[in-house]
Amino acid sequence: MMASTKNGFRRVKESDYADSFDLDREVIDGDYTSDEYAALIDQSIVSFKQGEIIRGRVVKKTDDSVIVDIGFKSEGIIPLSEFGVKAQDLTPGDPVDVLLEKSEDAEGMVVLSKEKADRIRVWEVMAEKYEKEEVVEGVIVSKIKGGLTVDIGLKAFLPGSQIDLRPIKNLDKLVGEQHKFKIIKMNKKRGNIVLSRRAILEEQRKATKESTLSQLTEGAKVVGVVKNITEYGAFIDLGGIDGLLHITDMSWGRVNHPSEMFNIGDQVEVIVLKFDKEAERVSLGYKQATPDPWSYAEERYSAGARVLGKIVSIADYGAFVELEKGVEGLVHISEMTWNKHVRHPGKIVNVGDQVDAVVLAMDREKKRISLGMKQIQPNPWENIEEKYPVNSIVEGKVRNVAEFGAFVELEEGVDGLIHISDMSWTLKVKHPSEVLKKRDKVRCMVLNIDKENERLSLGIKQLEKDPWMSVEEKYPVGANVKCKIVKITNFGAFAEIEGGIEGLIHNSQLSPEPESSPRNAVELEQEVTAKIIKVDMANRKIGLSVKAFVEGLSPEQVVSELGSAADEEMESGAEEAGKPDLKEQDADETGKTGGTTAE
């Protein structure tokens, strides 16, 4: 034992026991000599060996240590921390098992350890459980590299692969939990203990699996827990055996991913669709617990019925509308609007939109429903003749321009065509873009209606009076007129009498004297006076003669002189009207050959 000093403890002297144990000094001094007494003490400690666990008693507890008497010639001091949570309940006289590390240290004190004694005791217990393959309990105390640390009375290692039947991503959530384990490896020399929780779970699973397999039958309703989720389905733990719930068997409706319906850990009631006992494969169904909506769809969605649905998918050719879970219909792009120029359904609807539609056709066997959205609105062509009667003046926007004309939208779903020939009475229009541009607003007249084929003919020039209607009256044969040369060809020149009214002056009629080339007689933009020698109202042609005006010849004389050549030249003149004049043609030829043209 030790007595207190300023610096801590000193070796206990015999006088320290005088008050505590009422020693009979007379007996000691009288019966035994000091050598004999020392011999008795030495004899009493012969049985204590280093490394042995000895039961002692608590003599005193301080703020940081515990003094323990083991009946040795001195007492031992053990750090209070070695007693753990039990330290706060220690009182003098309490029995305690300690390990005798050394009989005497440099200061002559016995060296004791409570922690090492506990470890040896627990190790012995664990070694026995390891041999007998018994279960131990412990608390997960921390996460370390490769697994977890578990307190089973000793610090033990639980590898990540032995934690559960499946890998666990978040190990931190297990810290603080108490579980049962099996010891799978022990090394006393290194002080290592390796645990497995998976071994216990596998045993439990095996027992449960046998019970589950004996009870499973096709068509039976069973309860399981969602164990894992993939893109194609969910695995359900039925109790020792997993079943696959395929995505197509989750709902009668559209499911993009199993996670839309289930989460890991959910408890679900499913139906056994197929069961292969030998292969231990189970196919499960969830939607089969409710009736197939197509079994009564024909009654609910008959042709002509008006329905409300939600756009769930959009393709190039149309949009799919969910009428109820498991029942979808297709609105083809041609049935979305009366407007025929929509190129993609996404221009009209978006996923998630609520739309009204009419059932056009139903095929229960193929599970198909054809829907129409445009049928909700009246067909604009039904009363087209009343809205746009022939000869009525309308206004629209140029939607498209082609080589043969321009398409004008009067309203959604109603387009009309202005043909190039109906753009001007007088202008020689080579391309519609010379008159109209895309998105231009234009006034025009309705010329013709083809209701059956949904076609409308429009015209711009009809808004004005045809100038040729008064040509015969204003420009009779034999009259002299002033005109301007606007085009020169190989056989003559075209002269403009007034806006849009032109006549042809044959090569032989350009001057009194014969010329080898029309350009020698006239020039572009030159003003001349000519006599009208012929008017063809049917073909909108006028024949002119400068020679007849100068020489005072009658139209009959000129026509007689020209003979049939006049008619032929006037015919070809109409064809040549759209070709370049001689000056332009020569310039083109010069550009191709690299030569020059004489002026």
Residue 33 lies in a domain: yes
Measured CA to CA, the distance from residue 68 to residue 98 in angstroms comes to 9
State the pLDDT at residue 20.
37
Q: How far is CA 349 from CA 324, 345, 353, 370, in A?
A: 19, 6, 7, 17
> What is residue 208's predicted lDDT score, i.e. its pLDDT?
79
> Sign of the C-alpha dihedral, residues 237, 243, 244, 250?
negative
What is the C-alpha to C-alpha distance for residues 571 and 555, in angstroms, rounded to an integer? Answer: 18
- Residue 427 within a domain: yes
Question: Residue 72: helix, strand or coil by DSSP?
Answer: coil
Low-confidence ranges of the chain (pLDDT < 70): 1-48, 563-599
Picking from 201, 234, 259, the residue at the C-terminal end of a domain is: 201
Q: How far apart are CA 309 and CA 329, in angstroms?
A: 9
> Which whole-number Å values give the CA distances from 181 to 105, 199, 227, in the listed order?
41, 8, 22
How far is Cα 83 from Cα 81, in angstroms, rounded to an integer? 5
Residue 417 in any domain: the answer is yes
Question: Does 459 share its domain with 474?
Answer: no
Q: What b/e string do you get for 309-333 counting C-beta neighbours within 10 Å, with b at 16 or more?
A: bebbebeeebbbbbbeebbbbbbbb
What b/e readout covers 255-280, taking b as 16+ CB neighbours within 10 angstroms? beebeebbeeeeebebbbbebeeeee
Contact 111, 74 (CB under 8 A): no
Buried b / exposed e along 109-142 (16+ C-beta atoms within 10 A): bbbbbbebbbbbeebeebeebbeeeeebebebee
Residues 368 and 322 in one domain: yes
Q: For residue 403, give the 3-state DSSP assignment.
A: coil
Report if residue 207 sits inside a domain: no
d(CA 488, CA 581): 5
Neighbours of 428 (CB within 10 A): 11
Which pLDDT score, from 0 to 100, does residue 201 have? 87
Among 262, 371, 263, 240, smallest CA distance to 307 is for 371
**How does DSSP assign 286-317, residue by residue?**
SGGGS--GGGTHHHHS-TT-EEEEEEEEEETT
- Which CATH number does the domain housing residue 181 bear? 2.40.50.140
Contact present, 293 and 325 (Cβ < 8 Å)? yes
Residues 6+ apart with CB under 8 A from 273: 218, 249, 283, 284, 285, 288
Same domain, 476 and 562: yes
Do 486 and 579 reside in the same domain of the chain? Answer: yes
Residue 512, CA distances (Å) to 518, 542, 553 in order? 13, 20, 11
Please state whether beta strands 281-285 and 306-315 pair in parallel, antiparallel, or not at all (unpaired).
Answer: unpaired
Check whether residue 486 and residue 533 sit in a common domain.
Answer: yes
The predicted structure's pLDDT at residue 15: 42
**Sheet arrangement for strand 95-102:** 76-79, 65-69, 53-61, 95-102, 111-113
- 20 domain-assigned: no
Asked whether residue 179 is assigned to any structural domain, the reply reads yes
Domain boundary among 349, 374, 399: 374
H or E segment and range at residue 200: helix 198-215
Same domain, 88 and 159: no
Query: pLDDT per residue over 472-506, tens digit each?
Result: 888 898 999 999 999 998 889 999 888 778 899 99
CA-CA distance, 142 to 149, in Å (whole number)? 5
Domain that holds residue 163: 133-201
- What's the number of domains the chain is made of? 6
pLDDT at 582: 38
User: Could you tell me if 458 and 471 lie in one domain?
Assistant: no
Contacts of 274 (CB under 8 A, 6+ apart): 218, 281, 282, 283
Q: Which of 201, 234, 254 finishes a domain?
A: 201
**How many CA atoms lie less than 13 Å away from 435 in the CB half-sphere?**
29
Report yes or no: 318 and 333 within 8 Å, Cβ to Cβ. yes
Same domain, 355 and 445: no
Q: Same structural domain for residues 443 and 506? A: no
| One domain, residues 471 and 582 | yes
116 within 8 A of 54, measured Cβ to Cβ: no
Q: 137 with 144: CB under 8 angstroms?
A: no
pTM here is 0.47
* Phi, psi values for residue 321, rounded to 5°: -115, 125
Task: Report pLDDT for 41.
Answer: 55
Query: How close are the terminal C-alpha atoms of the chain, in Å?
Result: 143
Q: Is residue 49 part of a domain?
A: yes
549 and 489 housed in the same domain: yes
Alpha carbons within 13 A on the beta-carbon side of 511:
11
The DSSP bridge partners found for residue 265 are: none
Q: Give the Å distances, CA to CA, from 377 to 73, 337, 435, 456.
A: 111, 9, 35, 21
Based on the fold, state whether residues 317 and 227 are members of the same structural domain.
no
Distance CA 389, CA 449 (A): 8
Determine the 3-state secondary structure of 65 from DSSP.
strand
Is 140 contained in some domain? yes
pLDDT of residue 139: 92
Provide the 10 A C-beta neighbour count for residue 503.
Answer: 25
